[in-house]
Amino acid sequence: MHAPIAAAPLYETVKRHVTDGIATGRYAPGAKLPSESALVSQLSVSRMTVNRALRELSRDGIITRVQGVGSFVATTAPNTSLSEVRDIRDIIAERGGTHRCRVLDARRTRLDAALAPLFEAAPGLEVFHLSVLHCENDRPLQIERRHVRADFAPDLLDRDLHAMPLTPYLQALAPISELEHVVEAASPDGDERRMLELGDCEPVLRIRRRTWVGDRVVTLSLFSHPGSRYRATIRLRPSDTA
């Protein structure tokens, strides 16, 4: 006599409901899933059961959860390499997305006492300050805040900053001799939350980049991204770490 087949746990039923919805296109990549309360009502299960199902789906990379905001169908996050200098336009193009940008600020200024040490220079050095909002498929993806030595790129403000990618232009002026990236996850400031359209509890991923030509720091950049939709990686050969 065969033993009876045990019924599948209820949380597996919830998981199957979500994965079936993803497979059929009912929940598209990046789409927000029904709330836990809605799933409890739809499937007649407990909130604890729904919570376990969503935790396991998140662990498996099928969905992403943002505290205080909700659960979303996972997408392949835009990925930037920390071992090289890449332009956000190229990253978006590789994903098949459409890039659009808005220049928020472009002016000549002088380094203050806070930024001068990062340039390894005295306060008062002339620099260009640029602030640009980059979007992928009309969804905000990056705030770029960049300072460039004016004597390194004297005609910078004469260029069409909407049409001309800034990173390859700067790289064409002189080869980079040294590169530094500093990455941090943090609570967004008011401008980051508003411009990146972040949820109440969503963190921001900040990448600070400095580049040297010879023994001079020529650019200082701060890139801010939605923490749930962007990632950074580094890949090195063993000889690079010697």
Q: Please give the pLDDT value at position 108.
A: 96
Identify whether residues 40 and 89 lie together within a single domain.
no
Cα four-point dihedral sign 56, 60, 66, 69? negative
Domain count of the chain? 2
103, 162 contact by CB (below 8 A): yes
Q: Please give the pLDDT value at position 79.
A: 60
End position of a domain, from candidates 73, 91, 108? 73
The model's pLDDT over 59-104, given as tens digits with 9 standing for 90+, comes to: 777 788 887 788 888 765 566 655 677 888 888 888 778 899 999 9
Identify whether residues 48 and 90 lie together within a single domain.
no
Identify whether residues 22 and 140 lie together within a single domain.
no
- Does 53 reside within a domain? yes
Pair of tokens at residue 116: 């001068």
- As a whole number of angstroms, the distance between CA 19 and CA 25 comes to 10
Domain encompassing residue 137: 79-241
End position of a domain, from candidates 73, 88, 110? 73
Cα-based torsion angle of the residue sequence 190, 193, 194, 200 in order, rounded to the nearest 10 degrees: -110
The model's pLDDT over 153-164, given as tens digits with 9 standing for 90+, comes to: 999 998 888 777
User: Residues in the chain with pLDDT < 50?
Assistant: 1-6, 239-242
CATH of the domain at 208: 3.40.1410.10
Identify whether residues 132 and 222 lie together within a single domain.
yes
Q: Please give the pLDDT value at position 162.
A: 77
Q: Please give the pLDDT value at position 5.
A: 38
Identify whether residues 202 and 132 lie together within a single domain.
yes
End position of a domain, from candidates 35, 58, 73? 73
β-pairing verdict for 216-226 and 139-149: antiparallel
Identify whether residues 83 and 200 lie together within a single domain.
yes
204, 192 contact by CB (below 8 A): yes
Identify whether residues 56 and 138 lie together within a single domain.
no
- As a whole number of angstroms, the distance between CA 98 and CA 118 comes to 34
- Does 202 reside within a domain? yes
- Does 3 reside within a domain? no
- As a whole number of angstroms, the distance between CA 207 and CA 220 comes to 11
Pair of tokens at residue 178: 């040294």
Q: Please give the pLDDT value at position 39.
A: 95
Identify whether residues 141 and 107 lie together within a single domain.
yes
